[in-house]
Chains A and B, each alone.
Chain A
């Protein structure tokens, strides 16, 4: 959606989403003197009780939206913190059992860098490679398991190429081996069905701002039966069962709960909307000369369209298309020159990776946006091909 004719068309929903207005309204009600501003841990007065009740309600709503129990939810400042808590917390807690951990080479930085840090501490890490479609196979993970392995961490929906990993199969495998499984589901909510009552995953990270909730709000699911044990990242209070010290951010918790509740409630219609747009946009792009899709065509969320413009530089294309807001690779990489580690992992050359752009569609994208974007891209791709000559 373009807010007006001068604003670029936003096609970067996998970087972040705007906050849903009703979510923002609910958050507002937790902030001011007229609202539920109290400290949820103040047990001695009405202000505290109100805030406590609000958090309790939000926790129940959030838990229900992911098929978990309220006591399995630890609210955090985002998926980055949830990933850190899960991976560092579990690796350290179970270090006496073993010091081998498994993850994949296509994770978000918020997982990759945690493992890099643990590697420096002396943990052994196996980085499982995806196939050329961007899918991690269960067999590849099975092959990496040793008697020392305590944790497997894999993402659900890839943030760069939108591929969906076979989480149910991986979960069955780790269960069978008695190994903990952590899943970074930051991009999963609202895009695939999330139901932890059916999925034997031990730890799962969530982020609010990918589903029309606020930035700086996330959660870690920590399974109760069997209990996944963690060492907290920091100390300073008994909040969140001692796993996440610090005054509870009532408005942020209300925000993520409302956003997740709405995502689940409207899952079907939102997904249909995105599928409709994708059915126009993807063929439109692939019809251009030298344009190919990165990652699996089937096993991916329709929100993500990552394409390679063979022979061109995505960065030049990006800057020549001020009427469209997209990113080359993930937002966290877009300030750097390094070609995307995900695209390289699925077999693209440096040149092909540098020729790739990620478009991501969302709730406010319209058919008119898509058509306008396609026209502009078509024009610009042609201009740059002409500039390059034969």
Chain B
């Protein structure tokens, strides 16, 4: 029922410990509600306008986990201006998300935008 890309990223998702609160160069954003079972916390380490590393926490279905893992891979090494133009439609297309899972892509985009906004 899941397509190959989604499955790949779902299986690939691994846990890394988050950076300690207040680490220089780390920006983070939360989207969704833990209580409603759909929530992400995205943290990125930025230096010289480049995203060097992404870490996250996620509560949600397989699509959300796969999407956040995908964005981890996609954003690592990218510039902030690439992150800025990331949009949900693009994510839906690369991952082949079904229409009712559009919200997963939107949540990620919202998190990325929140982070970008903190850097300017």
Contacts and interface: CB of A to CB of B under 8 A. Distances in A.
Contact of A316 (B14, B15, B41, B60): B60
Contact of A315 (B36, B62, B100): B62
A129 interface: no
B86 interface: no
B7 A319 contact: yes
B9 to A, nearest CB: 11
A337 interface: yes
A357 B14 CA distance: 23
Interface in B57-77: 57-62, 64-65
Contact of A335 (B1, B36, B62): B1
B59 A388 contact: yes
A81 to B, nearest CB: 27
B10 interface: yes
Contacts of B13: 383, 387
Contacts of B14: 383
A41 to B, nearest CB: 43
Contacts, number: 50
Contacts of B18: 389
B10 A316 contact: yes
A388 B57 contact: yes
Contacts of A337: 100
Given A387-B13, A387-B15, A316 B57 contact: no
B10 A319 contact: yes
Contacts of A112: none
A387 B57 contact: yes
B11 interface: yes
Interface in A361-390: 383-384, 386-389
B25 interface: no
Given A351-B36, A387-B15, A388-B57, A316 B1 contact: no
A316 B1 CA distance: 11
A316 B62 contact: yes
Interface string B89-118: 000000000001000000000000000000
B61 A313 contact: yes
A315 B10 contact: no
Taking each of A316, A335, A351, which has the highest tally of chain B beta carbons within 10 Å of its own beta carbon? Answer: A316
Taking each of A319, A320, A354, which has the highest tally of chain B beta carbons within 10 Å of its own beta carbon? Answer: A319
A35 interface: no
Contacts of A322: 7
Contacts of B6: 319
A388 B58 contact: yes
A290 interface: no
Contact of A319 (B2, B36, B37, B59): B2
Contact of B58 (A311, A318, A387): A387
Nearest to B6: A319
A335 B100 CA distance: 13
Contacts of B11: 320
Given A313-B62, A319-B62, 10 more contacts: A315-B61, A315-B62, A316-B62, A318-B62, A319-B7, A320-B62, A334-B1, A337-B100, A383-B15, A387-B59
26 contacts: A311-B37, A313-B37, A313-B60, A313-B61, A315-B62, A316-B10, A316-B61, A316-B62, A318-B62, A319-B1, A319-B2, A319-B6, A319-B7, A320-B10, A334-B1, A335-B1, A351-B37, A354-B37, A355-B37, A383-B14, A387-B13, A387-B15, A387-B57, A387-B59, A388-B59, A389-B41
